[in-house]
């Protein structure tokens, strides 16, 4: 097998394909690493997905790699965790929390699985947006259309995987930050049950009750493999037969662009047919309150320990929108945070009851396709909204309550941009989400998970 070209390029294999080819001796891991670095050099300028590579560190990781399930497989990690040779920057000129190089949970998980961290992925500044167009490194760009947002905040990991710089990447999800870029870039992205995936070393690890690390890959099987490394346990394949699918007739599934609605409704029917399951309409009241509660919770947690006067000394290169928004967030009343906690309890109890009746609840991951970088606004039946406002209402519930969620590509718009369906399940049922995603892929004859953006269709260059 050729590493960079020919009939089959190892660079273009799936994550599990790369792992298997290396394990079988069909591909030399050192050659794959060099070819991956060369591809980053070739393709990254168009998308600004990878903000730093460190070939010598990567080679050292490879030389010391144990014979694990990801031995020799190159991975990109979001700029949200420290590495032993690099502190995270969180996509910003500075963080309000102190940072330092170190062995983060995702680093250890990848190292112990034999993977090779080949680069750091760009991200939306301070993790504060769903678009990825604001970053100290400059905007990341969507490989499907480089004038469009790649999604955020895990913008770089998604764009890098979609453009096939790597076959998998590690993102983080505090209010949808794995799922949004997965949706915009045509990938599968898993937001694990809170606490199941590696989080040590994150600058909010001791305070967050919402943020998780999660895999971004082309399909569910690759997410299962990378997720198993992040979880530190094998995510065993099961059977989604007889899946009980809950549909919520609310703004999250109704106030969406017509193309998105049509593709997601077709996908829900395909999933029902493929699993021999059933679709039930279910009630889930107070979703707007849940969204606001999640925003208030992550806001309070992110400002924990920050003295107000510290905000008078923000780095001048922090973007104007984050300078002003951070100051506004400091003013929000404690009574609202307490009330948000009660909404959280209410929604957790409602979901616990709901998951007695259905296995998954589904709605579009984002209500519209990736918006333009220069003006990230979306047109919905209810009017024009910022992408952030529109996106968060379908994502926050999983973070607020701790349940797992997955974004699965289910179509392309008339503009050739990816459309995605989100599935959410009860606590600890991450494996079921992967099973259901695989059933949906089969039902669609893998058409959407195997679709490639223009940037990834380029003929590989022979090294």
Partner 1 sequence: MEASDRAEDFVPAGLASFGIEADEVDLAVMNAAHQMFWPGIRGLLSLDLSAVEPERNPDMSRSPEAS
Active site residues: 78, 153, 177
Q: Rounded to whole angstroms, how far apart are CA atoms 16 and 70?
A: 8
Token pair of 83 as six digits: 């590495």
- For residues 151 and 184, the answer to whether their CB atoms sit within 8 Å is yes
Q: Should residue 196 be labelled a site residue for partner 1 when binding is judged by CB under 8 A?
A: yes
The site map against partner 1 for 337-376 (x = CB under 8 A) is --xxxxxxxx-xx-xx--x---------------------
Q: State in angstroms the smallest separation of the CB of 253 from partner 1.
A: 20
Token pair of 66 as six digits: 């144990």
Q: Which stretch binds partner 1 (CB under 8 A): 46-54, 62-70, 317-325, 371-379?
A: 317-325
DSSP 3-state of 431: helix
- For residues 34 and 27, the answer to whether their CB atoms sit within 8 Å is no
Token pair of 10 as six digits: 């190892």
- Contacting residue, 66, 242, 258, 324, with partner 1 by CB under 8 A: 324
- Contacting residue, 97, 200, 330, 377, with partner 1 by CB under 8 A: 330
For the chain, give the longest Cα–Cα distance: 63
DSSP 3-state of 29: helix
Q: State in angstroms the smallest separation of the CB of 154 from partner 1.
A: 20
Q: Which stretch binds partner 1 (CB under 8 A): 129-137, 162-170, 223-231, 321-329?
A: 321-329
Of 39, 40, 72, whose CA–CA distance to 53 is shortest?
40
- Contacting residue, 137, 194, 363, 448, with partner 1 by CB under 8 A: 194
Return the number of the residue (282 or 289) whose C-beta is nearest partner 1: 289
Return the number of the residue (313 or 459) whose C-beta is nearest partner 1: 313
Q: State in angstroms the smallest separation of the CB of 156 from partner 1.
A: 25
- Contacting residue, 6, 45, 195, 454, with partner 1 by CB under 8 A: 195
- Contacting residue, 84, 93, 325, 413, with partner 1 by CB under 8 A: 325
Which residues from 401-440 bind partner 1, rule CB under 8 A?
401-402, 426-428
Counting other chains too, the contacts that 378-384 makes at CB distance below 8 Å and 24 or more residues apart are 378/257, 379/257, 380/255, 380/256, 380/257, 381/254, 381/255, 381/256, 382/251, 382/255
For 119-164, give the DSSP string.
EEE---GGG--SS----TT----BTTBTTB---SSSHHHHHHHHTT
Return the number of the residue (7 or 331) whose C-beta is nearest partner 1: 331
- Contacting residue, 67, 281, 309, 459, with partner 1 by CB under 8 A: 309
Q: Rounded to whole angstroms, how far apart are CA atoms 428 and 441?
A: 22
Binding site for partner 1 (CB under 8 A): 193-196, 209-210, 286, 288-289, 292-293, 295-296, 308-309, 311-312, 320-321, 323-325, 327-333, 335-336, 339-346, 348-349, 351-352, 355, 389, 401-402, 426-428
């Amino acid at each position: 097998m050729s590493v960079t070209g020919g009939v089959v390029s190892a660079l273009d294999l799936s994550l599990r394909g790369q792992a298997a080819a290396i394990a079988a001796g069909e591909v030399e891991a050192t050659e794959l690493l060099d070819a991956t670095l060369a591809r980053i050099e070739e393709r990254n300028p168009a998308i600004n997905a990878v903000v730093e590579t460190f070939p010598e560190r990567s080679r050292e990781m490879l030389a010391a790699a144990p014979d694990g399930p990801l031995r020799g497989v190159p991975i990109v990690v979001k700029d949200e965790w420290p590495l032993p040779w690099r502190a995270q920057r969180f996509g910003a000129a500075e963080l309000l929390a102190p940072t330092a190089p170190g062995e983060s949970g995702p680093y250890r998980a990848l190292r112990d699985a034999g993977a090779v961290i080949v680069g750091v992925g760009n991200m939306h500044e301070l993790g504060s947006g769903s678009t990825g167009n604001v970053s100290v490194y400059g905007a990341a760009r969507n490989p499907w259309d480089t004038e469009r947002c790649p999604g955020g905040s895990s913008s770089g990991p998604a764009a890098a995987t979609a453009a096939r710089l790597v076959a998998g990447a590690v993102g983080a999800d505090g209010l949808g930050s794995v799922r949004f870029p997965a949706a915009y870039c045509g990938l599968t992205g898993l937001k694990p049950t809170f606490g199941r995936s590696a989080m040590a070393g994150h600058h909010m690890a001791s305070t967050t009750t919402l943020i998780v690390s999660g895999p971004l890959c082309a399909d569910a099987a690759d997410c299962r493999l990378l997720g198993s490394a992040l979880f530190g346990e094998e995510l065993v394949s099961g059977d989604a037969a007889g899946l009980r699918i809950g549909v919520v007739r609310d703004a999250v599934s109704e106030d969406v662009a017509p193309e998105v609605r049509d593709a997601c409704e077709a996908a829900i029917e395909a999933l029902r047919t493929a699993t021999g399951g059933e679709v039930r309409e279910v009630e889930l009241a107070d979703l707007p309150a849940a969204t606001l509660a999640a925003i208030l919770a992550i806001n309070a947690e992110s400002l924990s320990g920050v003295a107000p006067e510290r905000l008078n000394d923000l780095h001048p290169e922090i973007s104007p929108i984050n300078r002003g928004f951070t100051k506004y967030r400091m003013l929000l009343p404690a009574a609202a945070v307490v009330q948000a906690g009660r909404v959280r309890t209410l929604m957790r109890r409602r979901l616990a009851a709901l998951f007695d009746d259905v296995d998954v609840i589904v709605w579009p991951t984002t209500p519209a396709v990736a918006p333009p970088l220069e003006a990230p606004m979306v047109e919905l039946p209810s009017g024009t909204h910022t992408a952030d406002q529109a996106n968060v209402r379908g994502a926050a519930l999983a973070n607020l309550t701790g349940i797992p969620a997955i974004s699965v590509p289910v179509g392309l718009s008339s503009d050739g941009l990816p459309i995605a369906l989100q599935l959410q399940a009860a606590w600890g049922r991450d494996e079921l989400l992967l099973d259901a995603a695989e059933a949906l892929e089969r039902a669609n004859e893998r058409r959407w998970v195997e679709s490639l953006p223009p940037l990834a269709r380029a003929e590989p260059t022979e090294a």
